[in-house]
A and B are shown apart, each in its own frame.
Chain A
Amino acid sequence: MTHDDGMFGVQGTGDTSGFGGLAKTGASTGSSERPYGSYFDELTDDLERAYPQFSEAIEAVVVYRGELTLHVKREKLEEVARNLRDNPKLQFEMCLGVSGVHYPDQVGRELHMVYPLLSMTHNRRVRLEVSVPDADPHIPSLVEVWAGNNWHEREAFDMFGIIFDGHLGLTRILMPDDWVGHPQRKDYPLGGIPIEFQGATFPAPSERRSYQ
């Protein structure tokens, strides 16, 4: 959990004027308690039965706003994915892409990759989340499991710099091929130019004063 106090270090108020101090907390990585509710218990039990190394592979199980997130260790990602896809009780045939998030505050676990999965047979959704450090941004590729992840992994590489081991042809897809930098990272600037008016310029959106 990160704690970011505002301008004058005042604690504990809900004052949003910007002068009274604003505490911004980062996302926590705790786990939810059983019972998870709806089909989540059944799902995790089936997965545990299908994949006996469940407790080593899954770091946390989070249920929030009616959605189940399994935090998986990157070494076991492919096995978990295969079990989720192939086991008849689970049957997550469709992976809806790879979404990346960069948390520069979570030192050692900065880059998160999120894989939303959909099971059409059982009409269920689950989410896999893998965290990797900036220093070693390698994740096993899931193209062999779900071929549709091909371009999604290329996009994650392009936008975040994550290297997917086993992906043949990991090149830039959205940016020009010789672009330097990974735009969606938090340390990459938005890169606008000052807006010109008659008699003044107005700073680009990322440079403006903001009341967060």
Chain B
Amino acid sequence: MTFDPYASATETTEGRVYSVTGGDWSDLSTEIGATKEERVVVNMGPQHPSTHGVLRLILELEGETVTEARCGIGYLHTGIEKNTEYRTWTQGVTYVTRMDYLAPIFNETAYCMSVEKLLDIHEQIPERAQVIRVMMMELNRISSHMVCFGTGGLELGAITPMFFAFRERETVLDIFEEVSGLRMNMAYIRPGGVAQDVPQESVSRIREACKEMRKNFKDNETLLVGNSIWMKRTKDIGYLDLAGCMTLGITGPILRAAGMPWDLRKSQPYSGYENYNFDVITADTADAYGRFLVRMGELEQSLRIIEQCCDNLEKLAGAPVMVADKKIAWPSQMSVGPDGMGNSLEHIRKIMGESMEALIHHFKIVTEGFRVPAGQAYAAVESPRGETGVHTVSDGGTRPYRVHFREPSFNNLQATAAMCEGGMIADVIASVASIDPVMGGVDR
């Protein structure tokens, strides 16, 4: 092992133990004192207003220039992947949705797609369910980009974009609440389809919301696009060209800002994306400003897709939203009653009075869960940050054997060193804001 000043190793009775702590500050400071240059090690975070969550940035500075930048992550490690091994496949959705908490629908869809691949029912997902999935995903993309826009602006000193962005986000969250019952972390996409149908009245509401958002996006754009202060802070900052992106495994707006028009929705379409008209937005500057423009452009494309989804929903009114196989489909239909949301009365009448099989299916699927044939599968979606991939392994039982998420933010954050070294401290903030990491996804 080579000597790493930040990770000293000691041999103990249980093997080699690495200590990456601040405990060697005294060694470090004596060493630094001995060097001639003015090298300072600065620790930003994990609690810091500008680090997009609990990210710890360890910067080695020479004056104002960053000579080395490292990320310390793991402050939000929740053990979600291990938790899914102790729950049924459907309960896994509620865990998985909290990884990348700004794009919960994408986590759920990727997970459900890999489960459906293992179940071999991915061809039999009803069309209405696919349309709803696409619509929810694009709405989630808008809300996620709005958070990036707002918090990115806030970190660089622009306070107003925060309020403007969250106004749009509230519109989207209202739609989420109407469709799924929750604003965030909805657990709405289930293996086999979606948990419940979109009310027909909501479709026209969604259409109006799209019109409103389109108008408001113009306001948002006038705030920052072409704004000379914003451009000075983000142009040529955080440069990462195509080769860098490829080797670091970076996908999403960072890759598209480097010029590569790679979007899983176009290259390897899923959930019926091949039937929608939209463009892949790219920029060719590979800097923070380019990424910002890519995200702004994607908002408009998402609106286009949502409007096409609304058309499809109106055409497919009354179609099922869960796979037909009763041994997999989530049984209950929910409705709002006098004591809140619960199983609808028709469903209860059916399982208690009319169909024994329906009662058995309901009981078995909710308590035990469905069985997934043994094997492994990998499914990926294009989330707002890049490619969210899920590698699921099943042992033939009702619980996942292993669920591993390939979160885009995990890879994207590795670019921090490449983007920040050689720049100024203030540019570190701009670079990290342009990467748009979500620590829940990084640490899982």
User: Which residues of A pack against B, CB within 8 Å?
Assistant: 16, 24-28, 64-67, 69, 93-97, 99-102, 114, 116, 118, 120, 123, 125, 127, 146-152, 155, 168-178, 180, 183-184, 188, 190, 205-206, 211-212
Q: Which of B399-416 contact A (CB under 8 A)?
A: 399, 401-402, 404, 406, 410-411, 413-414
Chain A min CB distance to B330 (Å) = 18
Given contacts A174-B443, A180-B14, contact A27 B397 (CB under 8 A): no
A205 touches B397 (CB 8 A): no
Determine if B387 is an interface residue (Cβ-Cβ < 8 Å): yes
B155-163, B207-215, B370-378 - interface stretch:
B370-378
Contacts of A64 in B (CB 8 A): 375-377
Contacts of B376 in A (CB 8 A): 27, 64, 69, 101, 114
Contacts of B410 in A (CB 8 A): 97, 151-152, 155
Known: A28-B374, A95-B249. 6 other contacts (CB 8 A): A24-B395, A65-B375, A100-B404, A102-B402, A147-B248, A174-B73
A101 and B377 alpha carbons, distance in the complex (Å): 13
Chosen A-B contacts, 18 in total, with CB atoms closer than 8 Å, are: A16-B368, A95-B249, A99-B402, A100-B402, A114-B404, A118-B387, A120-B262, A146-B249, A148-B414, A151-B410, A168-B2, A171-B4, A172-B18, A174-B73, A176-B74, A177-B21, A211-B367, A211-B368
Task: List 7 A-B pairs, minimum CB-CB distance, nearest first.
Answer: A148-B249, A99-B404, A174-B74, A174-B77, A148-B248, A177-B20, A97-B406
Which of A65, A152, A190 has most chain B Cβ within 10 Å? A65
Contacts of A212 in B (CB 8 A): 397-399
Contacts of A148 in B (CB 8 A): 247-250, 411, 414
Given contacts A120-B260, A148-B411, A176-B74, contact A99 B391 (CB under 8 A): yes
Contacts of A16 in B (CB 8 A): 364, 368
A101 touches B82 (CB 8 A): no
**Smallest CB-CB separation from A177: which chain B residue?**
B20
Chain B min CB distance to A168 (Å) = 6
**Smallest CB-CB separation from B248: which chain A residue?**
A148
User: At the interface, is chain A mostly helix, strand, loop or mixed?
Assistant: loop
Contacts of A66 in B (CB 8 A): 117
Contacts of A205 in B (CB 8 A): 83, 86-87
Q: Which of B77, B118, B267, B398 is the one whose CB lies under 8 Å from A175? A: B77
Q: Which of A94, A99, A170, A211 is the one whose CB lies under 8 Å from B249? A: A94
Chain A min CB distance to B141 (Å) = 20
Q: Which of A97, A116, A173 is the one whose CB lies under 8 Å from B74? A: A173
A99 and B375 alpha carbons, distance in the complex (Å): 15
B249 touches A65 (CB 8 A): no
Determine if B336 is an interface residue (Cβ-Cβ < 8 Å): no
**Smallest CB-CB separation from A188: which chain B residue?**
B82
Chain B min CB distance to A191 (Å) = 8
Chain A min CB distance to B303 (Å) = 27
A146 and B410 alpha carbons, distance in the complex (Å): 15
A64 and B73 alpha carbons, distance in the complex (Å): 35
Contacts of B73 in A (CB 8 A): 151, 173-174
Determine if B389 is an interface residue (Cβ-Cβ < 8 Å): yes
